[in-house]
Amino acid sequence: GLGMNPICCSALVSAYSKLGFVHEACRVFNGIAEPDLVLWYSLISAYVCSGMWDIGIQMFSSMRHSGKKPDGFTLARVVVGIADSSLLSIGQGLHCLSQKSGLDYDSHAGSLLVRMYSRCKCMDSAYRVFCSIFNPDLVTWSALIAGYSQCGEYQKVLLYFRKINMESKKPDSVLIATVLASIAQTAIVVPGCEVHGYVLRHGLESDVKVSSALIDMYSKCGFLHLGT
């Protein structure tokens, strides 16, 4: 009947997953002879969203062994929620699985791994993944810089902000605010003026995030009058 129709099954697994009915989703999934990548993705999502990380990773591994090749978006569903060092071992396991799945150079997967390691403050690992990505996009650069900012490595924040400009990528207001917040912690005004110059050259001074970050930076550096 309709219960075994792949399209209906996929819709059921997705619906149960979104509602948090993981066991029901699993029952439907187990009734399918050859689940496709979308079905695997839906069930993995259900486990991860329910906090069942260990089962989610087992499913990711099982998917790979079943002959289905995971893509960056499948990995994303599991990695995206890892933002705490207590979950780092899980993230490292996923990183290992991604390498075995041939996702080392997948830009989407790589960007997520950089973000994961950065949020867990493991910057050596974040940097290694970053270096493996061909032509990283602005999101990946931003994740790396945000990680260095969280770790208080302000010189590296400024270094990679400069490198972004050399790569002809245009930082957005969130990234600029992150850089300014890092500079504010050093209370050294010169690099802040450098970033301010970038803001003026690119007409970003009217952006609320940027203007607030400039005022905060100048205030903490003792030059509030320069930010008004």
- Return the pLDDT at 35: 85
Residue type for position 21 = F
Please report, in tens digits, the pLDDT of each residue of the chain (228 residues total): 445 676 787 788 888 888 888 999 898 888 887 888 888 888 887 887 787 877 887 887 888 788 887 776 667 667 766 666 677 787 787 788 777 776 666 677 788 889 889 988 899 999 999 998 888 899 999 999 999 999 999 999 999 999 998 888 889 999 999 999 999 999 899 999 999 999 999 999 899 999 999 999 999 999 888 766
- Return the pLDDT at 45: 78
- Return the pLDDT at 84: 67
Continuous H helices in the chain: 6-19, 22-30, 37-49, 53-65, 72-79, 88-100, 107-119, 123-132, 138-150, 154-166, 173-186, 189-201, 208-221
Domain ranges of the chain: 1-68, 74-136, 154-228
Q: CB–CB of 186/149 below 8 Å?
A: no
Using alpha carbons only, give the angle 208, 209, 215 rounded to the nearest 5 degrees: 85
State the residue for tokens 């989610």.
56
